[in-house]
Each structure stands twice: as structure tokens, then as C-alpha cells.
Chains A and B, each alone.
Chain A
Amino acid sequence: MFVRKTLATFVFEFSRSLTTSRIATSLVLALFAPVMLVLIGFTVDINGVRNQIPFPLFVLSIFHLLALFLAVLLWATPVVYSELEGKTWSYLSVRPYGKFCSTLGKYLNAVAWAVLTTTLSLTASCLVISYFVWDVSFFVDNQIRPPEDVAKQIREGLNNANSPVVIWYSLFPCLILGAFAFSAIFVHIGLLAHKRGMVFAVIYGIVETAFSFLPAIVRQLTIGFHLRNIGLKTSNLDVSALPPQFSNILATETAIWVHVLALLIITAIHLGLAIYWLHSREYITAEEV
């Protein structure tokens, strides 16, 4: 019954959020990265850059983690505050387990929108990147190349961290896992400080990003660190070949499954704490004071 109610909330919230303004907001977030890449592609010598670092992977990972962060900020942080502000919290809280199921359903809605937005953004960005850095050519001397030559070049390209296909399948799982993890944290923050949730979430994001780059134990507690490692390992990037200022920060020997497990544990902990706050705190609308 708990699952049924949570899914009912998810379906209701998802259909309710299909408005012009919300779709437009998601599109703006989704198109920011591809548009920036187009502008960069025409003004910056990308080939000059990617000879030094895996520029497409690097740039896309930053843009899309940012898009993920902002999508989750919009959808996950105000799960309770939106109901309190709209004075509809009473309807949910007088249902048996209503506040828990509605919060979890909204959490799933936040994850869904974050995944949709960032997947669209990633796909569009990879298409843009392929225009600028695609190493496969179908023609030589105005003649069509033999298919086996093209296939061989594609296969070689698939092992290259600059390849759009590699970038897509290395970043996509990061975005999925990141959506679940960041949404859980932001839901937790939104329940702890429902009036100023967004401000605290932004501060959290800045602090977390800084900590994730510290070569210390604290980075193990950050989501960014685990996502970065998953992306790097999936892309088969040789971290040791990077300039020292990058390899020192990014290099790690831990297996992928450890990072995935860490993310799942972080997600579960924050969701658990969110449920606890819902159970123990009183949420009232302003009129009731």
C-alpha cells in the first residue's frame, strides 16, 4: 500500500508538472550546455585544447553535473515548502502515511525530471561535440570510404575518451545515480529548512563541490567524488596520462561498484533522515500560528 500511494503521488505530480512554464524551464536547463558548446566550438580551438586534456568529457561532465544540480534544486528542495506555501499540506498530512508517501512520490518526480532534463542535455551536447571532434570520416578524396575502414575507425573511436558515444555512456549512469543521490539530499535539506531550502541547498552544493576535490577522507562523503570516479572509469580514460594537477585530484584505485554502493548508501541515509523529520516535526501553514 505504501508503494501504491507513492506511485499514485508520482503519477499525480508528474502529470501536474507538465505545464508550459515548467517544460520551458527544463528546456532552458537542457539546452544551456549544447548552446554553450556551439559557441565554444566556434570561438575556441577545441583541437588545441583536447590535445592537452579530454576536453569534451571534461566540459560535458561539468555542464551536466551543473544541469543536474539545478534541476534537482528546482524539483526536490521545495517538496514540503511548495505544499506549505500553497496551503495544501493539510490535505496530505491527514491521509494515512500521506506525508511520507507524498514526499517520496515527489522525490521520484524530482528524479524523473532531473534524468529527463540531463539526458536530453547530454544527448544534444554529444551531437554538438560530434560535429566538432568526430574523428570518423565517410569520404576520402571525394570517394566513399570502404565500410570496413569506417567501421574500424568507429571501433577505434569508441575506445577514445573524446568520442561522443563514450562520453554519453560514461556520463549517463553518473546522471542517473546523481539524480537519485542529489534529490535525496535536497529533499532532506528542504525538510530541515523548508523556508530557506534553496539557499541552503546552493551553499551545500558549493561546499560539496569544494570538498569533493580535496585529497582527504572528506571527499568520500561527497557525491561529486563518487560520480566523477564512475564517469572516469566507465570512459576508460587513462588518468595517469593527464597533467599532474588533474591526475592528483582525480586518480583513484577503487572499483566502480564501491562508488555505486557509496552513492546508494548516501541516498538511503538521506531519505531515511527525511522520513524521520517528517515523522517528528510539525509542519504548519502560516495561518495556523
Chain B
Amino acid sequence: MISFKSVSKLYGLVNGVNDVSMELSPGAFGLLGPNGSGKTTLINLITGQLRPTVGSVEIFGENPWGREEMLSQIGLCPAVDVLYSNVSAFEWVNYQTRLIGFDWSEARERTLEALATVGMSDAMHRKIGGYSLGMRQRTKLAQAIAHEPDLLILDEPFNGLDPIGRQEMTALLRRYLANGKSIILASHVLHEVEEINPDLMLLSNGRLLAHGSPQEIRDVLSNQQELVDGNIPEIARPGFEDKVRITELFIRCNDNYILAKRLFDSQQICSLAISKDKTELTVGTTSVREVYTLLPEIAVKENLEFYEFRSADGSLDDLFSSLMKIHRGES
């Protein structure tokens, strides 16, 4: 569906994206990165608003620059706010839909349907200038989905939405995916990106740090044996002064002390710490697989009941932090 081959984009001397290569099949993708990482540039390259300085971009098998017809297959909901303050949502979405090429009556039908989908039917005839941020966000989404594009690109779609709105947005995106459409979602709200279970593209300083499913990326990280300056653990065991990569695991069970005692015997465990409220055990290890193997045995032997188990790379935040550390040369 989308193909980037060694794409770089320069704005004068400023690097927008730097040597990005990737192939994306239809599906859901999360585009993650801090401000200035190149997310918007990447989106603009996909939608044909920018030409790459180096490399080539293909969308649906064609170069998007100058391929105007192809744009009817793409829907874009940018991060910027809509600022037509003296126009109603209905008028604006209707206009945007007519620009796709629909005639008056069909555009009107689609507009009404799209505004109903995002929950703006009641307010659609009011001027946008009087809308809240969440209402403007819904209006932007309506114009992006009104023509049912094959590829929906959303830049910070959760901005300004209350928790219910976010849930509704997530449900809408899931339905969209279920209809066989594709979504690229750029966001800083990482746990909401995870909700639609996308493959991830992690950008930083214009470079693509990693690309794949969260599990694939975690596997890559957990198998890494690079020599780095490790953090000093709370209970440091001898023999671990060498520079190794340490993964932290957070475990909650009915008797953390017994579990700690049993884990202490393992050679792969380099640190153990119990939280102040005594409900959580933090295990530092050089081999997560070893711990995975030990835990069931200990659970059976000591009759332990586990409530929660997560690794430091178990959430997207931690995943991204780890990748950033690698990128900066810190781990």
C-alpha cells in the first residue's frame, strides 16, 4: 500500500525525514515520535503535498506527487485546528466532500452521515467559531471520513476529546479497520494508539527508529546483548559489575518475599527490590526468558498466586524510551 525507499526530505538545511525506508501493507499503523521528529513531514509525503528530496514514495503503487485522482482514496485529519470561524460544520464538511467530486445531493447525504457518525448532528448548523476543541476535532474527522477513503490518516485525533469521546473515537477507528480500510494514526497518546493494535513506526529526528508490531520490537530489544553502562541496581550482586543490559520485571503476587527468596538463587537475577507498600517486586535480570521459565516452577512449589506481571518494555512508553536510549547510545 505504502512504499518508502530511502526517502529524505530537506527544508533548506533542516532535515524533515532522513533516509526512511519501509513497506506498509493495508492495516493499522501508529506513527509515534516527539515534536519535530518528522511525523507531519512523513504524512505530507504520503499525501503528495511534498516531494522527497531523495528517494521515492509510492502510494497504492503510484507516486502521489501530481496524482490528483489518487487523493480520493485518502482521508486526512491534520493536527491543526480548523479556523473557518463563520462557517458551520455542515457547510464546511459538505464543501470538502464536494471537492472530492460528489454531486450536490450525494455530498449532502455523505456529510450528514459523517457528522452523525462523529456525533455532531445536533451542532452541525452552528458556526465553527463557537465550537469547543472536541467539537472541532470531531468536525475535522467527519470531513476525513465522509468519502470513505481506503487510507485514513489521523494526526493527533484524540486532542481535546474527553474520555468518552476518546472511547468513541477508538471504537470508530476499530469499525473502520473492520471494514477493510487502513489507518495511519500519529499521536502522543500512546496507550490509545495501542487500543487499535497497530503496527508501529517510531520516528526520532527524522529517522525511523523501528518499524513492526509491538511484540516484534520487544523481541528485538529483549534479545539485544549490547554492552552499555547499566543502571546501578538497588541490591547489586557480585559478578554483575560488567556492563550488561538489564531488564526490569514487575511482579505482584500473594507473597513477594517468598518469590524474591526463590529468585535470588538464579544466576540470571541481578537485582531484587520490594516496593514500600510491599505489594510489588521489581526483578532486574539479564535474561527475561530465564525468569519466565522459573516463575511457573516457583508458583507450583510455593503455591503462589500471581496478580500482575509486566516488563519494563511492556508498555509503549517504555518501548519508546528504550528505543530512544538505543538511538542516543545509552543502552
On A, residues with C-beta under 8 Å from B are 1, 4-5, 8-9, 12, 15-16, 19, 86-88, 90-98, 100-102, 279, 282-285, 287-289
Most buried by B among A102, A283, A289: A289
Residues 132-168 (chain B) with a chain A CB within 8 angstroms: 143
In angstroms, how far is the closest chain B Cβ from the Cβ of A102? 7
Q: Please, which residues of chain A bring their CB within 8 A of the CB of B48?
A: 94
Name B95's closest neighbour in chain A (CB-CB): A12
Q: Does B300 contact A (CB under 8 A)?
A: no
Chain B interface size range: 35 or more
Q: Is the CB of A289 within 8 A of B80?
A: no
CB pair A92–B99 under 8 Å, yes or no, is: yes
Could you show 27 A-B contacts with beta carbons less than 8 Å apart? A4-B101, A5-B99, A5-B101, A8-B98, A9-B95, A12-B91, A87-B83, A88-B80, A90-B80, A91-B76, A91-B82, A93-B49, A94-B47, A94-B48, A94-B74, A95-B71, A96-B69, A96-B70, A96-B71, A96-B72, A96-B100, A96-B101, A98-B71, A284-B50, A285-B80, A288-B16, A288-B44
B99 touches A16 (CB 8 A): no
Residues of A within 8 A of B71 (CB): 94-96, 98
- Inter-chain contact A86/B83, CB cutoff 8 Å: yes
Q: Residue B14 at the A interface, CB < 8 A?
A: yes
Q: Which of A87, A94, A95 has the most CB of B within 10 A?
A: A94
Write the nearest CB–CB distance from A191 to chain B, whole angstroms.
15
Q: Is the pair A19, B86 in contact by a Cβ cutoff of 8 Å?
A: yes
Q: Does B211 interact with chain A (Cβ within 8 Å)?
A: no
B80 near A96: Cβ-Cβ < 8 Å? no
Closest partner residue, chain A, to B83 (CB atom): A86
Residue among B16, B72, B81, B100 with max Cβ neighbours from chain A (10 Å): B100
Contact B14 A9 (CB under 8 A): no
A288 contact set on B, CB distance < 8 A: 16, 40-41, 44
Q: Which residues of A contact B80 (CB under 8 A)?
A: 87-88, 90, 285, 287
Contact B101 A1 (CB under 8 A): yes
Q: Assess whether B51 is interfacial by the CB under 8 Å rule.
A: yes
Q: Which residues of A contact B82 (CB under 8 A)?
A: 88, 91
Q: Which B residues touch A102, using CB under 8 A?
A: 99
Q: What are the interface flags for B80-114 relative to A under an 8 Å C-beta threshold, 1 for contact and 0 otherwise?
A: 11111011000100011011110100000000000
Once bound together, how far apart are the Cα atoms of A97 and B100, in whole Å?
Answer: 8
Q: Given contacts A9-B95, A95-B100, A102-B99, are A282 and B84 in contact (CB under 8 A)?
A: no
